[in-house]
Every structure is written in structure tokens, then in C-alpha cells.
């Protein structure tokens, strides 16, 4: 797998949005850049705060609307955690997450083939058509473990 490149991902998101005939505004571009660069799985209000630093006139509605468009078109992944929706613009496909119960940070776990096998097994056993999954492991991250020593 190629190493992740935020600039490439950003350009990809912009091109896709354009190709589908969506309006490209400076506010939208700023949001796409944040999504391509962020490791934090930010929620809508966090993204809003960050875009606002650069563009004080941006509205929360614009953020929500753009997130909805991106989500519907499979360009970002929505992860529902801690009573809120968080977004991953780096990996738009379902992948496991690790949530630290001390610092509340959300990390990506490595992709594993096991999840595909597991989904398939669910489908076969239950006759249930899986459209997506959300797998979360709760625990204490490396940084927080080191703090307690
Ligand atoms: Zn932690
Ligand atoms: Zn993720």
C-alpha cells in the first residue's frame, strides 16, 4: 500500500466534488483540506471551529451540508461514537477504531481481512445483508498508559 498523502487525498476529494457538479467554495475547500489532513476523527462542531479560524463567515449549516454530500457519496466515513458523529476523510471505507477512555482520542486500527470474512459469515448465518459495520475497541492508548507509570 502506498503511504498516505494528504495533498493527493485533498485533490481527489476536490475533483470528485467538482465532477459531481457540486459548488466549490473556499469554505468547502477548507473543510476538504481538514478532512484530508486530520488524524483526529473530528466531529462537525470541531470542523466548524477550525474552518472558522480561516473563514469567520462560514456557517455550521455549510459544514453539515458538505459532510452529508461527502458521506452520501462515500468520500468520508461517519463513525458514531461518544454521542456524536465523527468523520474520517482519510479512509472512507469501514475500518476498526480504537477509542481511549482516558483522553477520548479515536485512533485507526490496521485494516484486517478478518472483517470481510466476519461480515460474510454474518450474511451466511443470518441471511442479513451487511451494508457497513462499525467496530470499536475501547481501552487505554499508549500515551495514557505511559502517563500512569
Ligand atoms: Zn489516551
Ligand atoms: Zn478512522
Kindly give the distance from the C-alpha atom of residue 122 to the centroid of ligand 1, in angstroms, as a whole number: 32
* Per-residue model confidence as pLDDT tens digits over 21-35: 999 999 999 999 999
Nearest ligand, CA of residue 81? 2
pLDDT higher at 13 or 82: 13
Q: Give the environment of ion ligand 1: residues with CB less than 5 A.
A: 100, 102-103, 141, 144
* Nearest-angstrom CA–CA distance, 110 and 87: 17
Kindly give the distance from the C-alpha atom of residue 128 to the centroid of ligand 1, in angstroms, as a whole number: 35
Ordered domains of the chain (ranges, CATH): 6-88 (1.10.10.10), 97-147 (3.30.1490.190)
Kindly give the distance from the C-alpha atom of residue 37 to the centroid of ligand 1, in angstroms, as a whole number: 20
* Nearest-angstrom CA–CA distance, 54 and 98: 30
CB 23 within 8 A of CB 65: no
CB 81 within 8 A of CB 101: no
Nearest ligand, CA of residue 106? 2
* Per-residue model confidence as pLDDT tens digits over 103-143: 999 999 988 888 889 999 999 999 999 988 899 999 999 99
Kindly give the distance from the C-alpha atom of residue 12 to the centroid of ligand 2, in angstroms, as a whole number: 18
Locus of grid cell 482520542:
105
Mean pLDDT for the chain overall? 93
* Nearest-angstrom CA–CA distance, 20 and 16: 6
Q: In percent, how much of the chain has pLDDT > 70?
A: 98
Kindly give the distance from the C-alpha atom of residue 111 to the centroid of ligand 2, in angstroms, as a whole number: 10
- Following CA atoms 50, 53, 54, 58 in sequence, which dihedral angle do they give, to the nearest 10 degrees? 80
Nearest ligand, CA of residue 147? 1
Band of residue 149 on the pLDDT scale cut at 50, 70, 90? low
pLDDT at 77: 95
The model's pTM: 0.88
Amino acid at each position: 500500500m502506498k503511504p498516505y498523502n494528504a495533498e493527493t487525498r485533498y485533490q481527489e476529494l476536490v475533483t470528485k466534488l467538482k465532477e459531481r457538479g457540486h459548488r466549490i467554495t473556499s469554505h468547502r475547500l477548507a473543510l476538504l483540506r481538514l478532512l484530508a489532513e486530520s488524524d483526529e476523527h473530528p466531529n462537525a462542531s470541531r470542523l466548524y471551529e477550525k474552518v472558522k479560524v480561516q473563514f469567520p463567515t462560514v456557517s455550521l449549516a455549510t459544514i453539515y451540508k458538505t459532510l452529508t454530500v461527502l458521506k452520501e457519496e462515500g468520500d468520508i466515513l461517519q463513525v458514531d461514537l461518544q454521542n456524536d458523529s465523527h468523520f474520517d476523510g482519510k479512509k472512507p471505507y469501514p475500518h476498526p477504531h480504537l477509542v481511549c477512555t482516558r483522553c477520548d482520542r479515536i485512533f485507526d486500527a490496521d485494516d484486517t481481512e478478518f472483517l470481510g470474512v466476519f461480515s460474510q459469515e454474518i450474511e451466511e448465518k443470518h441471511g442479513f445483508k451487511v451494508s457497513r459495520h462499525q467496530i470499536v475497541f475501547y481501552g487505554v492508548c499508549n500515551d495514557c498508559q505511559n502517563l500512569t507509570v
